[in-house]
Structure 1
Amino acid sequence: MENQTNVKEFIILGFSNTGEYQNVLFVFFLILYVITISVNISLITIIRCVRKLHKPMYFFLGNLSFLELCYISVTVPKIIIDIPRKRKSISFNGCISQLFFFTFLGATETILLSVMSFDRFLAVCFPLRYTSIMSHKACFSLAAASWVLGFLTTSFPIIRISQLHFCKANIINHFFCESAPLLKLSCSNPYFRELTVIICASSVILSSVLLTMMSYGYILKAILKIQSNSGKQKAASTCASHLLVVTTFYSTMFAMYIKPTASEGSLNKVMALFYAVFTPLVNPFIYSIRNKEVKEAFLLLTKRKWL
């Protein structure tokens, strides 16, 4: 190990193999980023300004939108800046920082989605006690716990990755500093470096998925006991949007983090695009389009503005 020199920076290949489409990619990511930021900020504003939406479900939805703002801002601005450049590089410390915040926010979103499923479980299964159980203090505590747990579960594996030895290989076959391609460049013990990430990622994802499945198991049981069809549809509609978001997010996270080196090259990038770029864009639309209260609140704010 004495003869090994740690790299000072990494070269990110990104989408360099699509040279003739660089301008198209630049415009695509710029528009996508602007729309994502605008839509999530709009949703947060609607939730904060319309008193009708001052409910636990929308409190968590506001947290989720704020998370999405941070999540996409960790990767996409750097992608937009790098596309016109011939040499796409990032410093070692910058790479580790990007990896930390991306992983931290991803873990926090995973936990927050399971908390939102627990909220839906209480709303459907204990409607009379829901308001007293999900008080403002309880909502704040659950949201804060999501952020704290996300930070704690992320810190250890990222610290371990930052302590790995990186020799001469410094080309990352990805469009940002993600754990799977970064681990492949290390010349340290491959077994330990991957095991640390797998254990931490698995503990977060599997526990969150288990809580979500348990919550929806009880929700399904409660819905089946409802006599009227309208009652069943109303109960199911309160969970449909969240269930769609959870399914999309967890499926890609499973593929990437339960076995970090499972995906190679282009497939790795495609899956990362889904959970790192498209999810923050799609989520607010899913919750808004399928939610009658959000649409009514949007129309109310629009009328206030023009009157």
Structure 2
Amino acid sequence: MSIIVKNGILQVPGAQEKLRHKGQEKPEFLTDYTLIDIETTGLSPYRDRVTELGGIKVRNGEIVDEYSHLVAYDKSNKVPAFITKLNGITEEKILNEGIPVDEASHDFREFIGDDVIIGYNVNFDLNFVYDLAKKYHLPELNNDYVDVLRLARAYYPRERHNRLIDCMQRAGIAQVEQHRGLDDSIDTKKVYDDFRQHFTPELLAKAQSKVKNLDLTAEKLNPWELSFYNPISNKQIVLSGNLHLDQTDAAKMIQNMGGKVADRVSAETNYLVMGDHDFFRRDNADLELARQLIKQGAKISRLSETFFLNMLDDWARS
């Protein structure tokens, strides 16, 4: 069976359970939804923490409810200096004003409910909130969603950058982005409403057509199909251990996406992809060799199968 991307969602026979079961992206203009924006200590939901959860609930185009809380943890609440410089959130502020992470996760998941979720580059936010919901045994965050960044790329196709602040400045909404959950949620709504006023049916159809539908194992893909965010391009990859995905299909996928599969770890290896359980074993020869080469200066990223597949799913949704 093939590894495919259907309506922006990666589908991997034999390994689908390793992916986050997020909803489907549906570029459209709605009047009822929940718009979210979160702040974190970094970019990775595996390593980093949510520091703030923010959102607004919209009915008939108007804000009817808001959510905004800093998130406090039992262990570390340290915030990197560059994050504090960006948004003013400090460890002291979290300890003084934050609510416990389990309570915040429950309340925020309840706030979202069954609504379609809207956000700017919202897949980033969804990953963190999905993992919090899973950790605290809350209803799975499988709501469909609208990514305003997708609309921005269709509206400003020739612009190099389409960040939230870029769209705010172009539309005369604001000159500065606050990088705080509630403030950015409100500003994202303003950008979304501005697009609603100016989009043509042709522009919306263009945005919708950019949601990926690809067979990753059929034949080599064109650069325009892969986009600039392809994480496999020019990467040498070694597949090792007890993987759930079919390794023949995986090799075809990697080659079709512009990467190269190698049989053995070397100094040229970029990714060593291992079965989730192999990732923690000490008797994995590929892993031991990778460790030795890393000590010698090689830049080898060791990825679990779950991490690798979710990285690909994030690309599929981009």
Q: Which structure has the higher relative contact order (CA within 8 Å, separation 6+)?
A: 1
Same fold (TM over 0.5): no
Scaled by the length of structure 1, the TM-score of the pair is 0.25
